[in-house]
Structures are given as structure tokens and as C-alpha cells.
């Protein structure tokens, strides 16, 4: 193991983590995706690339040297879409002392997914499978997901994400029924834009409300609320990590080119020591809320994104 990465990881986390909050890293393992959804919030320019084998080794060294148990939640792009994910990333993480979660478009074949479950076993906390109806059929997806779910340990949450794509919302109640009938958790996500959430027309707003419910919490739906002014522990016990090793306190901070914590591969990474008041009008991702990072919101994880 590189002594530099080991030393910096230890220094970077000299802050004591709390029992109530669940320390979490959201690692965008790669940019590459095998889908090209018309509503993808990631521009094609950034939806490409993946770490080389030696970079994966450096990431794994950083994680191995990171004190405390963190949940490493992997996303992309599509993590399963590049060879190094199953060949190096997953076996390497399985050897660390951390937990693992993944957000995927669930296009990987079942034998690959079976191997994934065998490798990570009880370390797997949340498996989030996104249903993209431009590429997948809801019935086939639900059938595959039910088979997959039967392989999971009792402590693993399985959730089906579904973006409420404008122009399709009226038909999504039937999709939700298909998912629920297969014994799966359905997690609707309102459509986000670069600056906020999409303004649905009056008719679709009613359907959106039926899908997300009245006053949904972060376990029920992603409606990208504002938590401006609340104390937030992102940057202290949570951070996002790019495929290039750059760490930011949260996704919104990164969008505004703020909250940079350094790079985990060059030794410049440092966590903050204290929480800060949220300065943003949108919190686009439910992970910080569901890991107890935001004052007065969510709590310990049950199920969610
Ligand atoms: S699967 Fe996800 S990352 Fe890939 S194109 Fe669709 S929305 Fe974008
Ligand atoms: S509340 Fe949300 S947007 Fe605000 S700092 Fe925390 S994670 Fe970022």
C-alpha cells in the first residue's frame, strides 16, 4: 500500500464519527454508461470514462486506510458497464472493512449480479436499481428484480428507482403497481433540472402527487427539497468522490464549484471538522438525509435511495 495514501487517509479522518449518522461516500466510479436516456441529468460530455486498473488500486488503498466503517455507495454512469468494476473494484472493496451500496440501471445480466452478491455478501447495504423505461420493460424488470432480491441477505435493502419523466407520468401508476406486486419497494424521483425540479403541467402535477404522496419523507420519494439553514454534516461524515478522485462535501456544493475537499489520490483530501449550515435551495439527493447528515431530517437508514 502507498504510504502516502495511507497517511493522508488517516489524517483526513481524525474527526470522530457519530453513531447516529452513517458515514457515507458517494463514489461515482465511472462516467461511462451503456444507456443514453433522453432525460439523463449528466451531460454526454461527462458521461464517459472509467478509472484505469492502477487508479482502481489507488482508490482501494485509500479506502483500506480510511479509519472507521463507511458505506461506499457506488454509481456512475453505470458501474457494471466497464470490466474493471467486477474484475477489480468489487473484489477489492469486499476485502476492506467498509460497507457497500450501489446505484445501477440493472442492465447487467443475472449471472453477473449473482457474482456481485456473492462477492460483497453481508457488506451490501442498499442495492438501488433504476428502472429506465426507454430501455427496459417494467414486467421483465420486475421479474428479474424479484429473482435478484431473493439472493440478498436480510440486512440488504433493495429499492427500485423510477424517474417521473415528464410526458410519461400518467402511465407510471401502472408501473408502480407492477413493481409493488413483485414485492419490491418503489421509489419515485421527481425530474430534476440543472437548477431545480421540473415544472410539470397541471394534469401531471396531480399524477406526480399521487405517486409521491402527501409530504413524502426522504425514505418515500426524492422531491429535492430545500434544507437551507439546517446544520449539515456533509463534508464531515459524508462526501462525494469523482472517478478522478476529487472529493466534494455534497452534490449541490459541487454543482456550484464549492465544498472541494481535495483529491484522495494525490494526498490533498481533508474532511471538515465541523458541520455547516446548508446554503442551498435544493438538496437533490436523498442519501445525506437518509444517512442522518441533515439536522432534523431522516435518521438512520431504513430503505431509500
Ligand atoms: S442509465 Fe442513468 S446515467 Fe445512464 S443514461 Fe440513463 S439516466 Fe443517465
Ligand atoms: S442539506 Fe443537502 S444541499 Fe444542503 S449542504 Fe447538506 S447535502 Fe448539501
Class of the CATH-defined domain 3-290? alpha beta
The gap from C-alpha 56 to its chain's centroid, in whole angstroms, comes to 19
For ligand 2, mutation pick of 253, 275, 298 (most atoms within 8 Å of CB) = 253
* Integer Cα distance of 20 and 18 in angstroms: 6
Q: How many Å apart are CA 125 and CA 159, to the nearest integer?
A: 11
**For the chain, which residues score pLDDT lower than 70?**
1-19, 298-305
Mean of per-residue pLDDT scores for the chain: 90
> CA-based angle 257:258:260, to the nearest 5?
100
| Block residue for cell numbers 502516502 | 4
Q: What is the pLDDT of residue 110?
A: 98
Question: If you measure from the C-alpha of residue 136 to the centroid of ligand 2, how many angstroms do you get, rounded to a whole number?
Answer: 32
Beta pairing partners, 240: 26, 248
Ligand positioned closest to the Cα atom of 226: 2
* pLDDT confidence of residue 300: 43
pLDDT of residue 299: 53
- For residues 169 and 175, give the distance between their C-alpha atoms in angstroms, rounded to a whole number: 10
Give residues with Cβ within 8 angstroms of 16, minimum separation 6: none
Residue 41 pLDDT: 86
Report the pLDDT value the prediction gives residue 5, as an integer from 0 to 100: 53
**Which atom of ligand 1 lies at the shortest distance from residue 47's CA?**
3
Judge contact between 70 and 123, C-beta under 8 A.
no
* Pocket perturbation via mutation, ligand 2, pick of 278, 281, 295 by most ligand atoms within 8 A of CB: 278
For residue 36, report the distance from its CA to the centre of ligand 1, in Å. Answer: 6
Q: Are strands 124-130 and 99-104 parallel, antiparallel or unpaired?
A: parallel
* Nearest ligand (C-alpha, residue 134): 1
> Ligand 2 test: best mutation among 294, 298, 305, most atoms within 8 Å of CB?
294
Residue nearest to atom 6 of ligand 1 (CA): 37
Residue whose CA is at the smallest distance from ligand 2 atom 4: 278
> What's the gap between Cα 232 and its chain centre?
18
Which residues lie with the beta carbon below 6 Å from any ligand 1 atom? 33, 35-37, 40, 42, 76-78, 105, 132
The response to whether residue 27 sits with its C-beta less than 6 Å from ligand 2 reads no
Beta bridge partners of 238: 24, 234
Distance 257 CA to ligand 1 centre (A): 23
Q: What is the pLDDT of residue 27?
A: 98
CA dist list (Å): 69 to 16, 25, 154: 12, 11, 20
What's the confidence (pLDDT) of residue 196? 79
* Continuous segment of H or E residues that includes residue 258: none
Here the cell at position 272 is 471538515
Which ligand lies nearest the alpha carbon of 31?
Answer: 1
The residue whose C-alpha atom lies closest to atom 6 belonging to ligand 2 is 232
Say what the pTM is.
Answer: 0.89
Which of ligand 2's atoms lies nearest the C-alpha of 233?
6
Amino acid at each position: 500500500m502507498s504510504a502516502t495514501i495511507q497517511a493522508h487517509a488517516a489524517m483526513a479522518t481524525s474527526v470522530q464519527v457519530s453513531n447516529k449518522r452513517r458515514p457515507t461516500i458517494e463514489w461515482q466510479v465511472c462516467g461511462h454508461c451503456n444507456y443514453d436516456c433522453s432525460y439523463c441529468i449528466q451531460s454526454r460530455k461527462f458521461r464517459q470514462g472509467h478509472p484505469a486498473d492502477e487508479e482502481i488500486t489507488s482508490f482501494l488503498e485509500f479506502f483500506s486506510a480510511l479509519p472507521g466503517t463507511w458505506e461506499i455507495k457506488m454509481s456512475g454512469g453505470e458501474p457494471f458497464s466497464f470490466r474493471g468494476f467486477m474484475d477489480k473494484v468489487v473484489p477489492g472493496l469486499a476485502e476492506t472493512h467498509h460497507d457497500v451500496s450501489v446505484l445501477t440501471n440493472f442492465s447487467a445480466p443475472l449471472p453477473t449480479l449473482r457474482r456481485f452478491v456473492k462477492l460483497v455478501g453481508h457488506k451490501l447495504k442498499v442495492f438501488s436499481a433504476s428502472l429506465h423505461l426507454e430501455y427496459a420493460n417494467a414486467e421483465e424488470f420486475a421479474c428479474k428484480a424479484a429473482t435478484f432480491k431473493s439472493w440478498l441477505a436480510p440486512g440488504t435493502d433493495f429499492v427500485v428507482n423510477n424517474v417521473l419523466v415528464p410526458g410519461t407520468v400518467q402511465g407510471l401508476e401502472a408501473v408502480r403497481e407492477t413493481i409493488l406486486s413483485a414485492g419490491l419497494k418503489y421509489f419515485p424521483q421527481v425530474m430534476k433540472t440543472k437548477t431545480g425540479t421540473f415544472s410539470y403541467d397541471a394534469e401531471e402535477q396531480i399524477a406526480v402527487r399521487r405517486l409521491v404522496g402527501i409530504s413524502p419523507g426522504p425514505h418515500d420519494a426524492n422531491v429535492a427539497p430545500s434544507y437551507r439553514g439546517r446544520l449539515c454534516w456533509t463534508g464531515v461524515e459524508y462526501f462525494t468522490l469523482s472517478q478522478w478522485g476529487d472529493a466534494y462535501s455534497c452534490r449541490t456544493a459541487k454543482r456550484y464549484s464549492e465544498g472541494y475537499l481535495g483529491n484522495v489520490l494525490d494526498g490533498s483530501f481533508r474532511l471538515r471538522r465541523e458541520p455547516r449550515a446548508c446554503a442551498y435551495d435544493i438538496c437533490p439527493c436523498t442519501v445525506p438525509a437518509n444517512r442522518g447528515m441533515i439536522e432534523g431530517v431522516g435518521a438512520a437508514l431504513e430503505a431509500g435511495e
